[in-house]
Amino acid sequence: MFADRAKIYIRSGKGGDGHCSFRRELYVPNGGPDGGDGGRGGDLIFAIDEGLNTLVDYRHKRKYAAGDGEPGGKRRCHGKDGKDLILYVPEGTVIKEAVTGKVIADMSGDNRRQIVLKGGKGGLGNQHFATSTMQVPKYAQPGQPARELEVKLELKVIADVGLIGFPNVGKSTLLSRVTNAEPKIANYHFTTLSPNLGVVDLEGAKGFVMADIPGLIEGASEGVGLGHEFLRHIERTKLMIHVVDAAGTEGRDPIDDIYKINAELEAYNPEIAKRPQVIAANKTDLIFEADEDPTERLKKEFEPKGIKVFPISGVTGKGISELLYYVSAQLESMDRKTVVFEQEYFPEDELIYEELPYTVELEDGMYIVEGPKIEKMLGYTNLDSEKGFAFFQKFLKETGILDELEAKGIQEGDTVKMYGLQFDYYK
C-alpha cells in the first residue's frame, strides 16, 4: 500500500534527576556531598533511509519516544544517558507541526538527518551546590522534562518533471513507454491511485526523473476527489508536462481541459502555476484525416503564450522523442537542485512563550538572571552551536530579559550570570 501521509506523536527523553547523598566512610565523620548528575534524555531524530518509498510503517504505530536519562547515584556516579531514537523516512518527507501545519523539517537534498526534539538535560547532583556557607546542601536538581509534539508526515515525491492532466488522457501509458516504471493501466478514471516515478534515459542528453501525478478533476484544489492527496506531489517539480487527449475521445475539449487544470494549480498554489509547462497533445493516432486538426488549435492558443505543444501518441511512440529532448534541454537551463521547503516552526521557540517565572537581580556588581524559565532554556540549548547561540540571543530579546537588564542599569562590559553560564554584556 502506498502511504504518503501519517500523523504521529513524538517525545524526546526526560533528563535524569540529580542525586542527593553524602560521603559515608569509616574515620571520615563529615563526608561532603557526593550526589551524581542525572543522565541526558535521548534526542528524537529523523533521518533519510534510501530504501524506503512510503510512510506505511507510521500508519501502524503512532507514538514514538526516545529513552529517558537515568538518575545520578551515590559516590558522584553519573546517570546513564537516555538512548536517542532515530525515525527513518523516505527522501522527500516533510515534517509539519500538526496544529499549525508549519514545516519543522524537510528531509530532502542535503538535509539527511535532523534532531527535531532535543532530550532534557540531566539534573545536577548535590555535590555542585556546596559553598563555604552551605557545606551540607540537601538539594539536587531535577532533570529537564521531556519535550513532546504531534507532527504530520507528508511525502512529496522528488521528480524533475510532473505529468499532469485529467484522468484517462494517457499519462501512465506515456510514463511506462519512456521509463522503467510499470504503472497499472486500465480504461477507467482514477486508475492511478498513487504517484509513479520513472527515470528517463536519453542518448546524448541528460536524463531526468518523471512522476505520473494521478488525474486531477475540477475542484481538486478544494479537496474534491483525490485533489489534495496528489497535488502535493507536484510541489517539487521544476517543469510540468500537461498531457491532453487531443482526439477528444471522451467528448472533452483539450483547450478547455488545460485551462481547467491550470485553474486548479493556481487555486492550490500560485507558485506552482507559474512553473514552466509543455503540452503533450496525446492520442494523435485517433485523429481522423477528415477532422479539423486539434493540435493546430492547441498551438495557436498556447504557443504565443510561450507554452510549446508536441503532438504525440503514447501507443505508437510518435513525437515522444522530440518532447523528451526538449524537456531535457529546458531542465539544463534551470537549477537542478531539489526544491527544499524552509523551516517555519521551531520547537525550541515554545520556551520563549511558555509562562514560567524568572528574576533579574543585581548582586555585588553582577547581574544574576535565574528562575525555572532560564533553567529550562539552558537545559535545551547548545550554546556552542551557531543555531543554539542565535536562539539564545532571540530568547533574551523576545522574553524581555534584555529590557529588564537595561532597566537595572546594565552597561557594556558588565557581567551577566545565569546559573553556570557567565558572559559579558555587549549590545
Listed range (46-50, 106-110, 348-352, 402-406) with the worst mean pLDDT: 348-352
| Tens of pLDDT, residues 222-256 | 444 444 455 666 777 888 888 888 877 777 788 88
pLDDT in the model for residue 303? 86
pLDDT in the model for residue 45? 94
For the chain, which residues make up each domain, given as ranges? 1-154, 161-332, 346-427
Q: Examine the pLDDT at 99 and tell me if it is beyond 80.
A: yes
- Which among 176, 121, 136 has a CA at the least distance from the CA of 34? 136
Q: Within a 10 A sphere around the Cβ of 32, how many other Cβ atoms? A: 13
3-state helix, strand, coil split of the chain in percent (to 5) is 25, 25, 50
| Tens of pLDDT, residues 2-33 | 567 889 999 999 999 988 888 877 776 677 88
The structure's pTM equals 0.66
pLDDT in the model for residue 187? 40
pLDDT in the model for residue 291? 60
pLDDT in the model for residue 410? 81
Evaluate whether the domain defined by 346-427 bears CATH number 3.30.300.350: yes
CA dist list (Å): 347 to 3, 148, 215, 352, 384:
26, 9, 37, 10, 19
- Which among 33, 282, 258, 27 has a CA at the least distance from the CA of 140? 33
pLDDT in the model for residue 175? 76
Listed range (49-53, 344-348, 411-415) with the worst mean pLDDT: 344-348
Greatest mean pLDDT among 84-93, 304-313, 318-327 lies in 84-93
The CATH number of 161-332 is which of 2.40.110.10, 3.30.413.10, 3.30.360.10, 3.40.50.300? 3.40.50.300
The single residue listed with the C-alpha cell 518523471 is: 210
Burial of residue 184, with CB atoms counted within 10 A of its CB: 0-12 exposed, 13-18 middle, 19 or more buried: exposed
pLDDT in the model for residue 263? 84
Evaluate whether the domain defined by 1-154 bears CATH number 2.60.40.2550: no
DSSP 285: G
Task: Please tell me whether residue 93 adopts helix, strand or coil conformation.
Answer: strand
- Which residue spans within 182-335 are E strands per DSSP? 196-202, 205-212, 239-245, 277-282, 308-311
Average pLDDT over residues 30-44: 88
